[in-house]
């Protein structure tokens, strides 16, 4: 098959004018600013495979005519057309798909249209999974170029290919409702677990970029296919394993660009995990960031924000473990940190700023008729990291104000408490509204039945935690909570991210996810300290790090063997 370059994902107008399209929904930013109707986007699934049947047949006939002119021969025996040689009934793969593919329970024949294009060469199911993963890499990874860089660098190592294929096929299976493909996806996942475990037994292989990347991708598989509480914990285990592997790799990982970007990717995921569980960022990650700062743009807003978020995880853990005592001390520390959050987003470069758009259409997708238009998808994710942290920070301030108001002796003047309390509530509601306005950037468009809608909606992976947080705030109204639940259900059913359905179920029952515990733990103070110290535990030797990673992957392997 001829490689014709990466197809543009922009709308037809932006492609004709050769301008950069931000692929917003329901209209791209360029069309909104030009006040013109947006013609929409092409199906990325259809563009993944090019039908070269006519071209191949034409070239073959041309060669035969050329040969006939130069060396006349008796007419050849009749042969079957190329289409007959590769019809659906003769196509086989290791899934043993039924001969009559129309019998599969697939919506509108999507399985036949996408898995069996009418071309003369049929890629294997694994190749299709890898292609789908590559297409979706910009939705799963903050730095999608990692896929090409690491694949080329590692010469397509088996454990990396197996993990990429598993995620690609699992996402494809869920999005087109084809359970037959999930069978192969789970098979690839088990294979990836076995191969990754084998790589971990070698200190040389374990420190390769491909091994760390495979561990990260296996965590994504849990998010796509997880339909119970265990899958939420499993993602955390994979992130912990990746963090341990980062420490084992040491300073050498910063010698190439792929290693630097993967460290940033792992750090971002680990920050989210620490926020969810109210634990501090591991010290070895903090130390490695100091080394990484020598190789990255430390003035970049994303890098500056991550530094403040790390200090935020430490502050929250210290408050929880009573290492900072007294409402006044806690409030002062929280307000100081809040000022640092605000300073990061002051005087932003122009390409970091987003636009506000207003519409009365699609109320199921757009809350209160307002949504944000970002220059890049990953910017919306960074903004929401900032917003969720500040919401949690002002929750701490409100809790401390409440504690101060019930004290026997005055700790903070009443007037000051009232002013700060009202200010914190206003900030939380504003940040909640901003998160709600960012959701159209992550969720399926009104044309979500199309392939483009599914691809755009895959960014929903990054909105699960913010949606859960804004839906569970004590300031949240019932309409907002119900709207958030419906958004999560839509993500789970339309995009195929099954963990969204688990989160929606918790929100509907008004229960907290213990893995994502954002409320004070009722266990005794000494138990909290003990657990905090366990989370900070370091892994000084290769053997201990190897055992940790293998235990995470073996748990998954055991569970998959039972299904």
Verify that 30 and 160 share a domain, yes or no.
no
Verify that 128 and 241 share a domain, yes or no.
yes
| Beta-strand runs (E) in 192-344 | none
Verify that 173 and 279 share a domain, yes or no.
yes
What is the predicted pLDDT for the residue at 69?
Answer: 56
What's the CA gap between 158 and 191, in Å, rounded?
9
Distance, first Cα to last Cα, the chain? 37
Domain assignment present for residue 210? The answer is: yes
Peptide bond into 26 cis (omega under 30): yes
Domain assignment present for residue 513? The answer is: no
Domain assignment present for residue 404? The answer is: no
Verify that 154 and 68 share a domain, yes or no.
no
Residue 166 in contact with residue 182, Cβ under 8 Å? no
Question: Residue 433 class from Cβ within 10 Å (0-12 exposed, 13-18 middle, 19+ buried)?
Answer: middle
Residue 427 in contact with residue 433, Cβ under 8 Å? no
Verify that 114 and 157 share a domain, yes or no.
no
Verify that 178 and 110 share a domain, yes or no.
no
* Structure-block tokens of residue 40: 């929409």
| Beta-strand runs (E) in 289-375 | 355-358, 370-373
Q: Domain boundary at 86, 103, 121, which? A: 121
DSSP 355: E
Domain assignment present for residue 217? The answer is: yes
What is the predicted pLDDT for the residue at 58?
Answer: 62
Strand partners, 357: 371
- pTM metric for this prediction: 0.70
What's the CA gap between 166 and 172, in Å, rounded?
10
Domain assignment present for residue 58? The answer is: yes
Residue 133 in contact with residue 164, Cβ under 8 Å? yes
| CA 92 to chain centroid | 33
Domain assignment present for residue 525? The answer is: no
Q: How many domains does the chain have?
A: 2
What is the predicted pLDDT for the residue at 224?
Answer: 83
Distances in Å between the Cα of 235 and the Cα atoms of 111, 138, 270 are 29, 20, 11
Residue 436 in contact with residue 368, Cβ under 8 Å? yes
What is the predicted pLDDT for the residue at 110?
Answer: 36
Q: Domain boundary at 121, 146, 174, which? A: 121
Strands 355-358 and 370-373: antiparallel
Domain assignment present for residue 172? The answer is: yes
Verify that 79 and 177 share a domain, yes or no.
no
Q: Domain boundary at 100, 121, 142, which? A: 121
What is the predicted pLDDT for the residue at 392?
Answer: 96
Dihedral sign, Cα of residue 177, residue 179, residue 184, residue 185 = positive
Verify that 232 and 141 share a domain, yes or no.
yes
What does the pLDDT profile of the chain (563 residues) look like in tens digits? 444 555 677 888 888 877 778 777 767 878 887 778 887 777 554 454 455 555 555 666 666 666 555 555 444 444 443 333 233 333 333 334 333 333 333 333 333 333 333 343 566 766 666 666 766 655 555 555 555 555 554 455 788 888 888 888 888 888 778 888 888 889 888 888 888 888 888 888 888 888 888 888 888 888 888 877 777 777 788 888 888 889 989 988 998 888 888 898 889 989 998 998 899 999 999 999 999 999 888 889 999 999 999 999 999 999 999 999 899 999 999 999 999 999 999 988 888 999 999 988 888 888 989 999 988 777 888 999 999 999 999 999 999 998 888 877 888 888 999 999 999 999 999 999 999 999 886 665 543 333 333 334 345 667 888 999 999 898 999 999 999 999 999 888 877 788 889 999 999 988 888 777 654 443 333 233 333 333 333 333 445 545 555 565 666 566 555 55
**Half-sphere CA count of 229, side-chain side, radius 13 A:** 8
Within 10 A of 399 (CB to CB), how many other CB atoms are there? Answer: 16
Verify that 44 and 160 share a domain, yes or no.
no
What's the CA gap between 216 and 423, in Å, rounded?
40
Verify that 223 and 260 share a domain, yes or no.
yes
| CA 149 to chain centroid | 19
407 φ/ψ angles, rounded to the nearest 5 degrees: -70, 150
Angle at 429 between CA 425 and CA 433, to 5 degrees: 170
* Structure-block tokens of residue 134: 């590559």
| Domain span including residue 254 | 123-296+543-563
What's the CA gap between 87 and 90, in Å, rounded?
6
Verify that 117 and 131 share a domain, yes or no.
no
């Amino acid at each position: 098959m001829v490689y014709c370059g990466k197809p543009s994902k922009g709308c037809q107008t932006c492609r004709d004018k050769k301008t950069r399209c931000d692929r917003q929904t329901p209209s791209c930013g360029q069309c909104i600013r030009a006040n013109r109707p947006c013609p929409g986007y092409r199906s990325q699934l259809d563009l993944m495979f090019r039908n070269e049947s006519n071209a191949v047949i034409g070239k073959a006939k041309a060669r035969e005519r050329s040969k006939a002119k130069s060396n006349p021969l008796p007419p050849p025996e009749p042969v079957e057309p190329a289409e007959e040689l590769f019809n659906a009934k003769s196509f086989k793969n290791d899934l043993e798909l039924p001969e009559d593919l129309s019998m599969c329970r697939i919506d509108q024949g999507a399985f036949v249209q996408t898995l069996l294009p009418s071309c003369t060469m049929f890629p294997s199911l694994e190749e299709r999974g890898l292609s789908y993963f590559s297409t979706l890499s910009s939705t799963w990874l903050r730095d999608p170029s990692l896929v090409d860089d690491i694949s080329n660098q590692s010469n397509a190592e088996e454990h990396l290919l197996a993990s990429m294929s598993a995620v690609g096929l699992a996402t494809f299976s869920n999005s087109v409702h084809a359970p037959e493909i999930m069978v192969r996806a789970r098979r690839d996942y088990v294979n990836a677990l076995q191969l990754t475990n084998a790589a971990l037994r070698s200190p040389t292989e374990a420190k390769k970029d491909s091994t760390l990347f495979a561990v990260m991708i296996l965590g994504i598989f849990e998010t796509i296919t997880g339909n119970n509480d265990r899958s939420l914990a499993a993602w955390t285990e994979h992130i912990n394993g990746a963090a341990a592997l980062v420490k084992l790799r040491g300073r050498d990982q910063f010698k190439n660009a792929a290693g630097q970007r993967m460290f940033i990717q792992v750090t971002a995921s680990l920050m989210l995990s620490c926020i969810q569980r109210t634990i501090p960022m591991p010290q070895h990650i903090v130390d490695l960031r100091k080394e990484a700062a020598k190789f990255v743009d430390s003035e970049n807003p994303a890098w500056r924000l991550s530094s403040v978020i790390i200090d935020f995880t430490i502050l929250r853990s210290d408050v929880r473990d009573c290492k900072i005592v007294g409402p006044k001390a806690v409030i002062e520390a929280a307000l100081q940190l809040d000022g640092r959050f605000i300073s990061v987003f002051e005087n932003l470069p122009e390409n970091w700023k987003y636009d506000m758009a207003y519409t009365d259409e699609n109320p199921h997708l757009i809350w209160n008729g307002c949504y944000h238009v970002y220059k890049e998808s990953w910017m919306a994710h960074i903004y929401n990291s900032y917003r969720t942290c500040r919401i949690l920070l002002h929750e701490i301030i409100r809790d401390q104000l409440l504690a101060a108001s019930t004290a026997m002796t005055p700790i903070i003047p009443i007037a000051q408490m009232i002013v700060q309390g009202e200010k914190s509530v206003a900030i939380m509601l504003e940040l909640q509204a901003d998160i709600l306005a960012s959701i159209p950037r992550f969720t399926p468009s009104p044309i979500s039945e199309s392939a483009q809608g599914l691809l755009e909606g895959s960014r929903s992976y990054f909105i699960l935690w913010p949606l859960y947080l804004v839906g569970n705030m004590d300031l949240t109204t019932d309409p907002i909570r119900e709207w958030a639940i419906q958004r999560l259900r839509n993500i789970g059913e339309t995009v195929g991210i099954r963990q969204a359905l688990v989160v929606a179920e918790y929100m509907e029952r008004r229960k907290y996810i213990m893995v994502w515990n954002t409320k004070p733990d009722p266990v005794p103070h000494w138990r909290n300290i003990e657990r905090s110290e366990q989370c900070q535990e370091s892994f000084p030797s290769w053997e201990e790090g190897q055992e940790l990673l293998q235990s995470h992957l073996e748990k998954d392997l055991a569970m998959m063997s039972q299904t």
